[in-house]
Structure 1
Amino acid sequence: MEPIKRNHMVIVRGGGDLATGVIHKLHQCGYRVLILECDHPSAIRRHVAFCEAVYDGSAEVEGVVCRRIQETDILAQCESCWEVGEIPLLTDADGQHIHELASEAVVDAILAKKNLGTDRSMAPLTVGLGPGFTAGEDVDYVIETMRGHNLGRIIREGSALPNTGVPGLIAGIGKERVIHSPAAGNMRNISHIADLVEKDQVIAMIGDIPVKATISGVIRGLIRDGYPVFEGMKIADIDPRAEQKKNCFTISDKARCIAGGVLEVLLSRGVRP
């Protein structure tokens, strides 16, 4: 059989805030990136998540525009985006188009804590972010996503640390800064991302049930208004450092660190812009 003719692109599965940090870094380094997303992404840090383009048609993060494309003439639409310095996004949760697109690398940045279908046959180079992947088995490399000494480290054999379910500390505060839905229903936001709030202030409603701020600070993330949530679902994130309001609009240190690990893998394996 003749070798597959590869298209000069990197596919990233997922467009949430951590994935966006990776995508933004690769784009700024000159890579031609295509994002694959689901039909109804549930990003919390929406101002720094390219997946918002699914709803709005486009999304801009730190000066870079992501634009949603359609399932017809995918490569031609990608070329049109790349020519004007934009990043194309296609809704393809199951990765049905991955094999036909024949990219040079696939990065699974869904951060689902489990593998939702990525395997090494999808591209000459495959990378999985966080737990749920095993380097050398379902993907070639894994990038550690747990905060701490090994954040962003490249794993060549084995898996990332398992999910603890405990958010990383910000100003000494961990699980208290993350808000989970008290009930199932549609979100009705009262507050907005970057708003300053006080502890126990009502920031949203789910039906007749109020969602209250768990701590005082600035709302760093809040799920999209009208989104159908389930009980216990993560729906908001409060930063106790009120003076860090600007962080609501910039890629996090964690995302940039993970992005560095992905970039190192691509360059070390000869996948260049």
Structure 2
Amino acid sequence: MPQPNDHRLFAVILGTNEIASAIALQLVRAGYCVVLSHDPDPPVIRRKMAFHDALFTDTAQLEDIVAERVDDGVQVYQALRRPPQVMVTWLGLLDLLPVRHIDLLIDARLQKRRVTPDLRRLARLTIGLGPGFSSDFNCDVAVETRPGKIGFVTDARWTDAADGVASSLGDVGAERFVYSQFAGRWHTPIEIGTRVYRDLVLGHLSGVPLLAPRDGILRGIVRDGSEVPAGVKLLEVDPRGRDAQWTGTDQRGRAIANAATAAVRLHAARRSTHRNPA
């Protein structure tokens, strides 16, 4: 017999990127019904490491979990009567709040320079990932995502501000990315996982050709036909040869997901202790 809607653990994750998806994997395995809410800024590039493409293809698989697209609150509410699953939606947080009280809200959008509102009254537990979060100001738990501090849970202070330094992959930093120099519509015929070579045309931004920055495997690229703002990553080339990865979850994603789910378990343990003191 399915659990009543009021008993199913309900998690909303803001973002459909690879970090949000790695967290969703762990939460659904822990019994949560998870909704990933799309935000266009920044665009998702590592799409084979995320559930993002379910927005366009109805379903997307990551490891052993298949996510489904939902288009309205009724579909989300009905899903709460079924076994735990991952859903991906164009619906925003304001559209999801009326469905049912949210047990867990995680902001995984990694919006490095945008002001984040106070999330704390919107769910039983709120977690903020990356720059712009403080457990004293806008979330219950703030988790670092920058290199050297990945997964570190801050204690009553702001997470580190973005410093503009890209993490390394095979000793290669920002030079493995191509960024948008202006806002426009992006078009590309190239699929993730393709071997590419330096100066190969990988796509066009409003008609302007953009070239591969180096030899390697295309690890990520913005979906064809997307509108993109200026100053965001359009694509990434993995320089590691046989060690290149463009599918599944990576070490960074798992580390951040582990920190987030550890915070959830700690919060649950504290609530249990509070309800049942020795």
CA offsets per residue over residues 152-205 of structure 1, 9 Å max, x none?
Answer: 011231121111122101111101001112454322213221111111111112
Q: 1:136 — aligned with what?
A: 136
- The total of aligned residue pairs comes to 264
The alignment status of 1:211 with 2:219, answered yes or no, reads no
Counterpart for residue 121 of structure 1: 121
Residue in 1 that maps onto 2:191? 192
- Paired residues of 2:8 and 2:32 also in contact (CA < 8 A): no
Provide the C-alpha distance between the structure 2 equivalents of 1:147 and 1:225, rounded to a whole number of angstroms. Answer: 30
Please state whether the residue corresponding to 1:142 is helix, strand or coil: strand
CA distance in structure 1 between the aligned counterparts of 2:190 and 2:37, rounded to whole angstroms: 30
TM-superposition CA deviations, 1:76-121 (whole Å, max 9, x none): 33236x42x5312232234343265202121111111234445110
2:160 alignment counterpart: 161
Residues 181 and 211 in structure 1, CA contact (< 8 A), matched pair in contact too: no
Matched, 1:34 2:41: no
Whole-Å Cα distance in 2 between the matches of residues 40 and 172 of structure 1?
A: 27
SS of the residue 1:248 aligns to: coil
How many Å separate the matches in 2 of 1:269 and 1:78? 25
Deviation of residue 39 (structure 1)?
A: 7.0
Which residue of 1 is the match for residue 261 of structure 2? 263
Q: What amino acid does structure 2 have at the position aligned with 1:216?
A: D
Residues 183 and 209 in structure 1, CA contact (< 8 A), matched pair in contact too: no
Unaligned runs of 5+ in 2: 1-5, 272-278
* Partner residue, 1:52: 53
Q: 1:102 aligned to 2:91?
A: no
Q: List gaps (5 residues or longer) in structure 1.
A: none
How far off is 1:10 after superposition? 1.8
Shifted more, 153-162 versus 23-32: the winner is: 23-32
Aligned to 2:201: 202
Give the aligned partner of residue 250 of structure 1: 248
Match of 1:78 in 2: 79
Within 1, Cα distance between the matches of 2:98 and 2:141? Answer: 19
Q: CA RMSD in A?
A: 2.3
Q: Is the 8 Å Cα contact of residues 33 and 85 (structure 2) preserved in structure 1?
A: no
Which deviates the most, 119-128 or 65-74?
Answer: 65-74
Amino acid at match of 2:102: S
Quick one: distance in 1 between partners of 2:76 and 2:229? Answer: 37
Letter in 1 for 2:212: A
| Aligned equivalents of 1:136, 1:94: Cα separation in 2 | 22
Percent sequence identity over aligned pairs: 25
